[in-house]
Structure 1
Amino acid sequence: MIEAHFCTALRIVITDWKSQLTVDEMAQQLSDPVTFGRALLPALDQELAKLGCTRSHIVGLAWQTPCLHLRSVFDPQGIPDTPLDFRPVPDSEGTLIARATAIVCLAALDADTVSYGSENGGDLFVNLVVIPGEGRVSEKSQSKMNGHTDAVTFPMRGYRDPEDPRIAPSPDFVCLAALRNPNAVPTTVMQLEAILSQLDAQHIHELQKPQYILQSQLTFRDGMEEILGQELLVDDAQLLFQMQNGFWIRYSHSSTKAADAGESPAKQAMLALTEACLNCAIPVALAPGDIAIVNNRIALHGRTKVGEEFGGQSRWMLRTYGLDTSDLDEFQRHPDSTFMLFP
């Protein structure tokens, strides 16, 4: 019932917010997502109270479950044809309402809506669509994605990159807002607790050692080279972190390898992790108007094959990130932006 109450409260708050605004005025308010999200929290609290719910209930659920699936939480009507690239997200009433709902949703989880300057030019929201043409980006936009956490080379919140303290943490949450999904292509979610239940104690021990190499994920590589002068590699990474309330994970099937060559215990542990991810994948088919909030610490996510259809009425998701930024230093942000983090 907590998810249902959250959806009801979000719909009421966003409907009231947009009722007196033009599209241009909506876009202007969303240009400062941190201020916008926090400004609507009192109204959200009031609506939740009417339902016998609080934000603390929602935050607790978001840190216990791998994915919040918020059904029919916004109205995606009045959107243009599906774009052909990651950016820009076109301004229309439907896309703006989706973005506003996502921002307030993340604010309710004590997370600011953020981006990274090294990914897609630092745009706060990007289109997850099939990109026509040839090359790796186009192929990847059509294919399935195996289990991963986003921004895998960035440190966990509470940690620092040992070579560059400017690098901000990876996000706590990955937010997906569905505008179109005609073939009901599911996002796949893998709960870390379920994954670890399939690993033996030695595998879990190995995954906590700094003996893995992490490579920047594809959407970050060009931006890393532009900002840092080189691709960001972490060559002494651990994948599993013992936290106060359990484990957190950083891992990408396509961007992680063991530092030692051969059939080392580190590699065996990673292979066991990969197999467990496949066994634990839960499909979450987002309908237009749904939002999924995937916990990027206690879950991995992917998707099944999308297909080749592009533009028109083809699949279209908006993606953004949420992060508790209370411990960030100013040098971990890009100047002149309330939401863009370094690099």
Structure 2
Amino acid sequence: MTFENACKSLADPGNIGEQLSAVVRAELARAGADLNALREQAWTEAYVHLPNAFDVEGLPATPEGFLPLPDAEGTLLARASAIAAIATLGLDTVSYGSENDGALFVNLIIIPGEGAFSVKSRSSMHGHTDAVSFPVRGRFDSEEVRIAPSPDFVCLSGLRNPTNAETTVMPLSQILPQLTDGQIAELKKPQFIIRAQGTFRDGTQRILGEEHLVDGGELLFDVNDQLWVRFSHSSAGADDDEGAAADAVEAFADACKTCAIGIAIAPGDIMLINNRIGLHGRTTVEGEAGGESRWLLRTYGLDTSGLNPQQRHEDSVHKLFP
């Protein structure tokens, strides 16, 4: 297809994902790889790193905002490869209407200026799961059943990384052994205050009429003989500064620091981070905005088979509510 039509095809990630993943599945079969085993691996490990997954060609200068996303050969290949990888795992590529106007892909870059988003775009980030205030798949928000689940996977596609800034991943499997049985039990109790993260706050306020907040949420969940997590150092915690719940959160946060794995996402790499069994963050990003500075694309993957129609926006095939 033409470049223009190829870019347009990405607006329907379900359709193009099925086409692209069919090619991937055929290649895996020809190589003797077991697709089911690969999918199972993605659900037992905190991340999957795919080096040299696509060619980085014809990039413009690094953007200076989350949007717009430039249409260029490199960004087209990055997006198509991310959609193919997510579809190969049996998931759909999705976005949320309350974050960045529901854009399917956003730029992760250095933002110029001195505002909060600019400072955060350069600074290191603690371990967190994305869309932390939304329910995990299989659960519902206690007050608004239309709210879709948070993503199963966060997908990062590397376009530039001149200073080798690292994405950090904290596997839940390495965090839990550092906690006592009592602390784990506390984190399973519906007793925590969980706020929408920064990129979701204005959008949830606009769509829901108020910023999304969970009063009495769990941070750990028993799901199909596996523990899942949702956590954010800045947006999730105990109501009181003292007590067993606060102590459990502090112990969890401390454990995150000791087991962080750093991976520099190089141009052409794709990283799939399991948002249920892994937390992710980042080291400090050096350099100036624009030019040849660090540039990743981010999107989400989710098993949407159990979604209700009301958990989707009517004007989009990929945009979830809110």
Aligned counterparts, 1:92-111, within 5 A = 92-111=72-91
Partner of 1:153: 133
Residues 257-293 of structure 1: CA distance to partner in whole angstroms, max 9, x if unpaired?
A: 202x231100000000000000010001111000000
Measured after TM superposition, the shift of residue 331 of structure 1 is: 0.5
Q: Distance in 2 between matches of 1:105 and 1:42?
A: 11
Measured after TM superposition, the shift of residue 308 of structure 1 is: 4.6
**Counterpart pick for 1:255 among 228, 235, 246:** 235
Find the residue that maps to 1:175 and give its secondary structure: strand
RMSD (Å), alpha carbons: 0.9
Q: Distance in 1 between matches of 2:279 and 2:74?
A: 28
Q: Distance in 2 between matches of 1:85 and 1:325?
A: 29
Unaligned runs of 5+ in 1: 1-20
Residue type of the alignment partner of 1:328:
L
Partner of 1:191: 171
Residue type of the alignment partner of 1:340:
K
Residues 205-252 of structure 1: CA distance to partner in whole angstroms, max 9, x if unpaired?
A: 000001110011000111111111110000101100012232000000
Partner of 1:178: 158
Partner of 1:3: none
Partner of 1:321: 300
Query: Does residue 337 of the first structure (1) align with residue 316 of the second (2)?
Result: yes
Task: Tell whether the 8 Å contact from 2:61 to 2:290 is kept in structure 1 after alignment.
Answer: yes
Partner of 1:17: none
| TM-score, normalization by structure 2 | 0.98
Partner of 2:204: 224
Measured after TM superposition, the shift of residue 309 of structure 1 is: 1.4
Unaligned runs of 5+ in 2: none
Measured after TM superposition, the shift of residue 97 of structure 1 is: 0.6
Find the residue that maps to 1:128 and give its secondary structure: strand
| Percent identity between the two aligned chains | 54
Measured after TM superposition, the shift of residue 76 of structure 1 is: 1.1
Measured after TM superposition, the shift of residue 307 of structure 1 is: 2.8
Partner of 1:264: 243
Partner of 1:274: 253
Task: Tell whether the 8 Å contact from 2:21 to 2:85 is kept in structure 1 after alignment.
Answer: no
Partner of 1:310: 289
Task: Tell whether the 8 Å contact from 1:143 to 1:304 is kept in structure 2 after alignment.
Answer: yes
Q: Distance in 2 between matches of 1:191 and 1:162?
A: 28
Aligned counterparts, 1:1-343, within 5 A = 21-259=1-239, 261-343=240-322
Q: Distance in 2 between matches of 1:313 and 1:26?
A: 25
Measured after TM superposition, the shift of residue 61 of structure 1 is: 1.1
Task: Tell whether the 8 Å contact from 1:45 to 1:54 is kept in structure 2 after alignment.
Answer: no
Measured after TM superposition, the shift of residue 25 of structure 1 is: 1.4
Find the residue that maps to 1:41 and give its secondary structure: helix
Residue type of the alignment partner of 1:219:
T
Task: Tell whether the 8 Å contact from 1:23 to 1:91 is kept in structure 2 after alignment.
Answer: no
Task: Tell whether the 8 Å contact from 2:190 to 2:216 is kept in structure 1 after alignment.
Answer: yes
Q: Distance in 1 between matches of 2:184 and 2:76?
A: 43
Q: Distance in 2 between matches of 1:110 and 1:325?
A: 10
Q: Distance in 1 between matches of 2:56 and 2:13?
A: 20
Find the residue that maps to 1:197 and give its secondary structure: helix
Measured after TM superposition, the shift of residue 39 of structure 1 is: 2.1
Q: Distance in 1 between matches of 2:93 and 2:79?
A: 10
| TM-score, normalization by structure 1 | 0.93
Bigger Cα displacement from structure 2, 29-38 vs 42-51:
42-51
Find the residue that maps to 1:146 and give its secondary structure: strand
Q: Distance in 1 between matches of 2:68 and 2:225?
A: 39
Task: Tell whether the 8 Å contact from 2:148 to 2:311 is kept in structure 1 after alignment.
Answer: yes
Find the residue that maps to 1:118 and give its secondary structure: coil
